[in-house]
A and B are shown apart, each in its own frame.
Chain A
Amino acid sequence: MLSPTYFLPKERFPDFLNALKSLGQVFAPVKVSKQSYSFKAVEKASEIAFEALRTILPPKKFFYPQSETLVKFEDGEIKECIEEPVFKVIFGVHPCDLAGLGIMDTIFEDSPGDTHYLRKRRTSMIIGLSCMPDKHCFCQSMGTDCPEKGYDVFLTDIEDGYFIEGKSSQGQKLLADAFADKVLERAREAHKDRYKRFWLDRSEAFETGFKVDNLRSTMDLEWENPVWEELGDRCLSCGNCTPVCPTCYCFDLVDVAALSSKQDGSGDAERRREWDSCQFVGFAKVAGDYNFRPGPVDRLKFWYRHKLHGFDDAYGFKTCVGCGRCTVSCPSGIDDIVKVVNILQVARQEKDEGQPK
């Protein structure tokens, strides 16, 4: 049976927010500079930047924090660090980010499951929100433009209010309660019509994109395309493209030793994970200083390949969700995935056409 759908008039939004707040701390996009947004704790609806498309960091930061201690060595014993997560409500997550969370889930759920991530993830509620693409959005190309999983409730903006669907059971319960409290109305036919129209209009609104069906072979065939060298020359190896990516999961593990009077090394220590980036020189270096990806070109190509078909084999999906964050946060302007794919596809096509029949 289909779960019921609801309508939230915009003027009732503060009440809806209160309902969310009663569950736990609410985080939502907030404007932090002329053109940037960030998920931050909010108290009032007025703090929320509903217009935000992409935040600087994706919502992965809530479940996979920038730095966290996994294991510690204390009083000569190896101990697990279990932190009891506090319930969080993340409001305003767009379809691309929902897909991103889905990918993070797959990686961290894969055996052996990552307790640290999963505990936090299961102690949260994700409230999705519809959006209108700008010139950098290409989730449509990646097939992540419609919410499929990874959320509890989804809000579609239909002008004077929101059309609301519940996905998970905790999401449906939230809606049922809010309905009982008269914060929500049942969605009527008119709402459903506008909802459909919204999604149709939205699919027409994409300004940019590419065909994905040949990505894998294109990447392989154009592995020596001169465009890589051009991009490599401009690459700062600053790593900005990876922390901002909703699906980049790479981390470094570092030990933090406590000051200790025990000189035999049995003093306390922590083992901490911190976000890392494949764009840094030492990322793939092994003993003997052999580096599998010594130059910026090698690392950039690796990144593109990983995003565009890296997980095809391992998990059967691509790890780019088309949010455009890398494109807007590259100081050098070289992480324009759409542009690069188009160049590669054109080059490939030219070769195909040049081939004798």
Chain B
Amino acid sequence: MSAAAGSGTNHLPTIAVEGLTGCAGELLVILENLDKLLPFVRVVRFPFAQSKNEGGAVDITFVEGSVSQKHDLEKLKRIRANTRWLVAVGNCAVWGCVQKGALCKCKAAEMIEAVYGSAASSIAAEAMDAAPLDSHVAVDVKLSGCPINASQFLAVTASLLRDHLPYIVSKPVCLECKLRENPCVLIEDNLPCLGPVTAAGCGALCPSMGAACYGCFGPCEEPQIGAMTTILKEKGYEMEEVLGRLTAFGAVIPMGEKWQK
């Protein structure tokens, strides 16, 4: 990999970590795993974690958060222009997460009105409908998760440092769940487990603890939403609730449109 921003003696590839609108979850995961990366990279930008931050070209930029305001968009465009690999990290950046899920129910302006009241207008001028990065710029790699799984993050970085595209599974959570030999909470406890339509990566965290998957990793490849809805309805969940759960983490927007009615 070319050390695009390589300055002087330091030939290590460069990385940057940036946040748009999110909860800083990925920033935290990356911060916590930085000691493993430091021998192999030079961190040129990471405002969450350090004060001396450089501008200019970078090899890999990890971006957390959704585009939810004009400020985010300007920043994202700057990032795109300066990085070779743009990696969307986290459900916010890949799917839009909860703030995008909420758009199924009402528009951003309505929400601002409701939350900020009289001060709404100045905020509304800045705000945009929350959207994942790829609705605005080209994204090279998408690593979902809320938050991302640390070992997946390290594997993705390892691939990119070799200049290879990483392999990211988009099989359903059920696979990991069965590999861990968990009793199925959807079958045994009638919990509204979204494992069948959610992308694996977490290691089937929730079902392994006896709880229902609530879809925080975003949808798997071609989620069978129709079948999922049918099954949950048969278990006595009301349509309204099922749609609420399916859309909560921002992913399954087509279903959300039905919810808007």
Direct contact of A and B (CB under 8 A): yes
Give the nearest-CB partner of A33 in chain B: B183
With an 8 A cutoff between CB atoms, is B228 at the interface? yes
Q: Are A244 and B178 in contact (CB under 8 A)?
A: yes
Q: Are B222 and A277 in contact (CB under 8 A)?
A: no
With an 8 A cutoff between CB atoms, is B155 at the interface? yes
Residues of B within 8 A of A267 (CB): 158, 162
Q: Are A331 and B188 in contact (CB under 8 A)?
A: no
Residues of B within 8 A of A258 (CB): 158
Residues of B within 8 A of A233 (CB): 226-227, 230
Interface residues of B in 143-170 (CB under 8 A from A): 154-155, 157-159, 161-164, 167, 170
Interface residues of A in 119-174 (CB under 8 A from B): none
Closest Cβ of chain A to B183, distance in Å, is: 4
Give the nearest-CB partner of B1 in chain A: A263
With an 8 A cutoff between CB atoms, is B181 at the interface? yes
With an 8 A cutoff between CB atoms, is B12 at the interface? yes
Q: Are B163 and A265 in contact (CB under 8 A)?
A: yes
Interface SS of A by simple majority: loop
A332 to B179, CA, bound (A): 19
Q: Are A56 and B161 in contact (CB under 8 A)?
A: no
With an 8 A cutoff between CB atoms, is A109 at the interface? no
With an 8 A cutoff between CB atoms, is A260 at the interface? yes
- Select one of B167, B175, B181, B197 contacting A255, CB under 8 A: B167
With an 8 A cutoff between CB atoms, is A23 at the interface? no
Q: Are B184 and A240 in contact (CB under 8 A)?
A: yes
With an 8 A cutoff between CB atoms, is A238 at the interface? yes
A257 to B151, CA, bound (A): 11
A191 to B153, CA, bound (A): 61
- Select one of B12, B196, B221 contacting A236, CB under 8 A: B196
Given A259-B154, A332-B227, A332-B231, decide whether A238 and B174 contact each other with a Cβ distance below 8 A: yes
Interface residues of A in 288-333 (CB under 8 A from B): 296, 328-329, 331-332
Residues of B within 8 A of A263 (CB): 1, 13, 161-163
With an 8 A cutoff between CB atoms, is A3 at the interface? no
Residues of A within 8 A of B226 (CB): 233
Closest Cβ of chain B to A228, distance in Å, is: 14
Q: Are B227 and A36 in contact (CB under 8 A)?
A: no
Q: Are B224 and A260 in contact (CB under 8 A)?
A: no
With an 8 A cutoff between CB atoms, is A57 at the interface? yes
A328 to B183, CA, bound (A): 11
Closest Cβ of chain B to A135, distance in Å, is: 16
With an 8 A cutoff between CB atoms, is A81 at the interface? no
With an 8 A cutoff between CB atoms, is A239 at the interface? yes
Q: Are B175 and A239 in contact (CB under 8 A)?
A: yes
A interface size (C-beta, 8 A): 45
Residues of A within 8 A of B184 (CB): 240, 329, 331
The interface bits of chain A over 241-279 (1 if a CB of B lies within 8 angstroms of the residue's CB, else 0) are 001100000000011111111110101000000111100
Q: Are A256 and B155 in contact (CB under 8 A)?
A: yes
Closest Cβ of chain B to A170, distance in Å, is: 28
With an 8 A cutoff between CB atoms, is B182 at the interface? yes
With an 8 A cutoff between CB atoms, is B117 at the interface? no
Q: Are B164 and A265 in contact (CB under 8 A)?
A: yes
Q: Are B174 and A257 in contact (CB under 8 A)?
A: no
With an 8 A cutoff between CB atoms, is B115 at the interface? no
Given A240-B174, A259-B36, decide whether A282 and B221 contact each other with a Cβ distance below 8 A: yes
- Select one of B12, B164, B178, B221 contacting A280, CB under 8 A: B221
With an 8 A cutoff between CB atoms, is B195 at the interface? yes
B interface size (C-beta, 8 A): 43
Residues of B within 8 A of A255 (CB): 167
Residues of B within 8 A of A328 (CB): 187
Q: Are B163 and A236 in contact (CB under 8 A)?
A: no
Q: Are B178 and A237 in contact (CB under 8 A)?
A: no
Closest Cβ of chain A to B252, distance in Å, is: 14
A67 to B39, CA, bound (A): 28
With an 8 A cutoff between CB atoms, is A66 at the interface? yes
- Select one of B158, B164, B222, B227 contacting A281, CB under 8 A: B222
Residues of B within 8 A of A111 (CB): none
Closest Cβ of chain B to A60, distance in Å, is: 12
Most buried by B among A32, A56, A328: A56
Q: Are B162 and A257 in contact (CB under 8 A)?
A: yes
Give the nearest-CB partner of B226 in chain A: A233
With an 8 A cutoff between CB atoms, is B124 at the interface? no
Q: Are B158 and A257 in contact (CB under 8 A)?
A: yes
With an 8 A cutoff between CB atoms, is B40 at the interface? yes
Closest Cβ of chain A to B182, distance in Å, is: 7
The 3 closest A-B pairs by CB, nearest first: A238-B196, A33-B183, A238-B174
**Chain B residues within CB distance 8 Å of chain A:** 1, 12-13, 36-37, 39-40, 154-155, 157-159, 161-164, 167, 170-172, 174-175, 178-179, 181-184, 186-188, 193, 195-197, 221-222, 224, 226-228, 230-231
Interchain Cβ contacts under 8 Å between A and B, 18 examples: A57-B181, A66-B179, A234-B230, A235-B227, A236-B197, A236-B228, A238-B195, A239-B174, A240-B184, A243-B178, A256-B155, A259-B154, A263-B1, A275-B179, A280-B172, A280-B175, A281-B221, A329-B184
Q: A238-B172, A332-B231 are in contact. List 16 more A-B contacts (CB 8 A).
A: A36-B183, A233-B226, A233-B230, A234-B227, A234-B230, A236-B174, A239-B175, A259-B161, A260-B158, A260-B161, A261-B12, A263-B163, A280-B172, A282-B221, A296-B224, A329-B187
**Chain A residues within CB distance 8 Å of chain B:** 32-36, 38, 56-57, 61, 66-67, 233-240, 243-244, 254-263, 265, 267, 274-277, 280-282, 296, 328-329, 331-332
